[in-house]
Each structure stands twice: as C-alpha cells, then as structure tokens.
C-alpha cells in the first residue's frame, strides 16, 4: 500500500483529534478522552504555538486509497522530548494510532521508526511509552519491534495526579 509519513501542521488538528477519539474508543476508555477538554483547538494551541508541548507525525494515503469514510490522514504519532534522571535525553511517544482498515500494512511501524529517528537525531537514548494492559495486540506489536515491558522487567508503576488531585497537590 502506498502511504507517506510527514510532520503534522495546524490543518491536521481536526484529523488528529478525530483519530485520538477513535484510539480512546478502541482502547475501551472513551471517557478518558473528553472531547470538550481535548479537541482540535487544544491541539492547535499546544502543538503549533511558539513553544509547542508536543510534535506530531501524520500517516497519509493518496486520494485514491482514502478510507471508507473519505479520510486520507490514516494515522498519527504524537511525541515529545523528556529527560530521565538515570539515562539522560529521551523521547516519549504519547500516542500512536492507525485506522483499523490500514493496520497490518506497515503504517504503525513506519510511524514508530520515524519517532525513533527523531529521538536519535536529538541525542536521545530511550523511547518511552505506555500501553493499556488490555491492548495485547499493541503490546505484541511493540515487543516484535524490540521494545521491553518495564512493568515486568523493572516493576515500574505509571502514576499520575489528574485535574483535582493536581490542584490539591499544588495547594499543599
């Protein structure tokens, strides 16, 4: 199948928001991706401002291979740079998604490879990400690419302070 990977631009925000909602539904956690809190306007502000919080890649197909719903943007990889106190520079893959009808055709691997290339070019020595426990097909995909499961290898717990807890923590 013919597809290409390119840097996202501000015009891609609606497609990224659409696919992000699809990803949340696919992982059976649609309530985690609240449309009024995360939308194309948030993406525009947070990804394409003077000091962006993230970068994004888009997988797209030519018009003649568009999806059954008429989309040519068929996948995305959203990432940002971070730092590990033990290992130095790293790159964090926040989201990787390929529309179901285009899976198994190398799109996800191409997106992941491009993120790895970006990380290496920036001097990173590690690519980090999380995968839902229930998403075994994605776990298997990442393991086939050479990834390791730090949950079992090291015993890490991925922790977060969400909205109200973050506010409460900041006030203590």
Q: Which residues are catalytic?
A: 142
- Report d(CA 9, CA 78) in Å as an integer: 12
**H helices then E strands: how many in the chain?**
6, 5
**From edge to edge, which strands make up the β-sheet containing 73-84?**
4-7, 55-60, 73-84, 88-98, 127-128
- Give me the torsion for CA of 86, 52, 157, 128, rounded to 10°: -60
What are 73's two structure tokens?
């943007």
- Report d(CA 98, CA 22) in Å as an integer: 10
């Amino acid at each position: 199948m013919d597809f290409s990977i390119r840097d996202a631009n501000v015009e891609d925000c609606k497609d990224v928001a659409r696919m992000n909602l699809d990803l949340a539904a696919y992982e059976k956690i649609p309530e985690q991706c609240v449309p009024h809190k995360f939308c194309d306007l948030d993406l525009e502000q947070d990804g394409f401002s003077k000091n962006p919080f993230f970068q994004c890649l888009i997988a797209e197909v030519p018009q003649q291979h568009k999806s059954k719903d008429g989309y040519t943007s068929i996948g995305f990889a959203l990432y940002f740079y971070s730092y590990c106190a033990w290992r130095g520079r790293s790159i964090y893959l926040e989201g990787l998604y390929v529309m179901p009808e285009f899976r198994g055709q190398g799109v996800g691997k191409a997106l992941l490879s491009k993120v790895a290339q970006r990380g290496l070019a920036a001097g990173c020595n590690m690519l980090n990400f999380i995968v839902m426990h229930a998403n075994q097909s994605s776990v298997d995909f990442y393991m086939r690419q050479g990834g390791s499961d730090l949950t079992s290898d090291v015993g890490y717990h991925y922790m977060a302070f969400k909205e109200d807890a973050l506010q409460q923590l900041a006030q203590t």
